[in-house]
Structure 1
Amino acid sequence: MKISGMNRTRTASGSKALLLRSLACLSLGILFYSCSSLKQSTQAEMVQVGDIHTFDGIYKNASEGNAGIELRSLWNQLALHDDLDTVDFERATIKLRTVGKKEIKATRIQDGVEMESLFLHGKLKDNYFVSKPKRSVVPIPFIYGQVKNDQFQLWLDKAGRLHVDRLQNRWGWVFIFLAGTDNTTSYVYARLRD
């Protein structure tokens, strides 16, 4: 079947290909539009970090000034979790050790026993260790879609405390209705020892 008009001839398969290309471009545009990022602003009390090894140390799992709030545990922030910390988070400590130029190993310690570990992938940028973003996309063109972006960055103050800035970006659509939220939170964790 051919569709003619205005000196153009387009087949049905050509129209489908054009529609698919348009949908792909629209989806990519939405993906890039929805990506938020953390800013690396200079802090007055920030330590100048020339090497990723500067972050090595053992830190309290509970954030300062927020005792009793499981969601704010250092482990949850590093693992990019949104649920409650299931162990005795106030007694736990987190050991950070550099593994390479772009990787830090975080180990949760409970009563002197190493419970579990995870690797933090990222890079050093303007005195911050900036993690690689954790993104997920659920696209159903013109019906439903969702984009999630989770990321954190670490920096140290002159008192040796670890600061974690956490970005949580959610964005989506149902038919033509768009909605989204950006949430950036900051927490401070005491360094117990190197």
Structure 2
Amino acid sequence: MTANPPQDQVELQRDTAPSSAEDRAVGDGAEGELSDHHTQVLHRLLRVTYPHPSFPDGPYRRSAAAIQATDGSADLLPGGLADLDRRADGDFCSLDDAAATEVIRQIADTPFFALVHSTTVVALYDDHEVWDLLGYEGSSFAKGGYLHRGLDDLDWLPTPRIEEYSGEPRVELVTEPDNAPTATSAAAQGD
């Protein structure tokens, strides 16, 4: 495996001139608030990147809110979401999962996606609703650990058969290697 050469640091600059109606809509709300369209694109991005068909929208919406609350997101989110639409020929939300995944692969190394990924992997899987959906009981420490609870609740395994051995004691044969010193050879060397 070859290591990639280190990359030079690049100072990111945000283009402040709105280039489309969707970009201009970002400024219609409160400072740093996304337009409705960009909120839908972010939600779709999360659904495609972290696909759990049985999950309701709540955990994804809370993850999107966590991304928007992250430091630096106001600079990266609008441009990154607009870039998704641009790469999708106008509407990222209309792509099927396979096509959306290909667009996401194109942006996987961008600071925008790094922000989305690093925030979502924590926000989504630390959501207690997700814990319930996945069957995770949470921390064992707050419940007294696993010593007296948890090790015997594996209902998907058969009950183990535990019996004491009641036969003759087993004899262990210990052999010495051919080149190992014996008591006789050690005494002979000591003379």
Q: Which has the higher strand share?
A: 1
Is TM-score (shorter-chain normalized) higher than 0.5?
no
Provide TM-score, normalisation by structure 2.
0.20
Provide TM-score, normalisation by structure 1.
0.20
Higher relative contact order (CA 8 A, sep 6+): 1
**Larger C-alpha radius of gyration, 1 or 2?**
2
Q: Which has the higher helix share?
A: 2
